[in-house]
Amino acid sequence: MKLQSNVRFAARAITAHGPGYVAIGGTRLTRTCLLGPDGIDAAWGPDAFEGLDAGHFAALAALPCDVTLLGTGARQRFPAPALLRPLIEAGRGVEVMDTPAACRTYNVLVAEGRTVVAALIVE
């Protein structure tokens, strides 16, 4: 049996993460970013968890996906329930976790063929 790598997945896989960076497909990013089926949005989001606002969550709710992962930085922090409302009203599964856990979860879900958006706060 011939095995072939999934090139589409490899190009958007999170290949490394650590304090102050996330690497996607080998490209190192040093600020908050959004990763989804259509690629990377390095302009999304604030530089810190405390900067998240309703506009950030409205933008996430507009993206078509099965699951939205929110990586909240070095530690898990939960946004106010009112901020999550657009995602809940869109019927979106939302998982909040620290950024390293969100990176690992993203790779597993994408490898399973799920449509996932990961909003990753890089600290």
The CA distance from 116 to 123, in Å, is 22
Structure confidence by residue, pLDDT tens digits, 66-82: 999 999 999 999 999 99
Q: What is the pLDDT of residues 33-70, one digit of tens each?
A: 999 988 899 989 999 999 999 999 999 999 999 999 99
Integer Cα distance of 63 and 84 in angstroms: 14
The Cα 75–Cα 97 span in angstroms is 8
